Amino acid sequence: METIANMLEKILDDLQSVGGVELCAIVSKQGLLMVSREASPGLDSEAFAALTATLYMSAESTTIRLSKQKPKSIIVETNNKQLITYAAGPDALIVVLVGNEGYIGLILSEIKKAAEKAINVI
């Protein structure tokens, strides 16, 4: 029988196969790492999980106050990377770090599919 962790890892394997994804993870909204995949060694997945959950919860608090709605996604863009945090149900987030080679439209589409799959697993 396949475990929940194995099913979540398969979701990330599919997501990581999209070009330009340097790190992807599924984390709880409390910042606990469920599963992760790194394309670049040296990234700290657990710190990444905690920091992105904090970012999401801050944005959620702000958007609820402004528009009475929760965000589906948050995108932070720097000169050479993009950080995407996408809600996967009420308790989880899919987080992706994208490098210069990534096509953001394609990656967003794949993140949405991954979130739908994760909701069914969690």
CATH number of residue 93's parent domain: 3.30.450.30
Per-residue pLDDT at 1: 72
Task: Indicate if the alpha-carbon torsion angle 11, 12, 14, 20 is positive or negative.
Answer: positive
In 49-91, DSSP assigns E strands to 73-77, 82-87
pLDDT tens for 6-44 read 999 999 999 988 888 988 999 999 999 999 988 666 777
pLDDT tens for 42-63 read 777 788 889 999 999 999 999 9
Domain residues for the domain of 87 are: 4-121
In the chain, DSSP assigns E strands to 21-28, 33-38, 73-77, 82-87, 92-98
Which pLDDT band, with edges at 50, 70 and 90, does 101 fall under?
confident
Sole residue written with tokens 């967003």: 108
Per-residue pLDDT at 85: 95
Which pLDDT band, with edges at 50, 70 and 90, does 66 fall under?
very high
Q: Provide the number of structural domains found in the chain.
A: 1
d(CA 115, CA 87): 7
Average pLDDT, the chain: 91
Query: What number is the average pLDDT over the span 67-83?
Result: 93
Closest by CA to 87, choosing from 103, 76, 102, 73, is 73
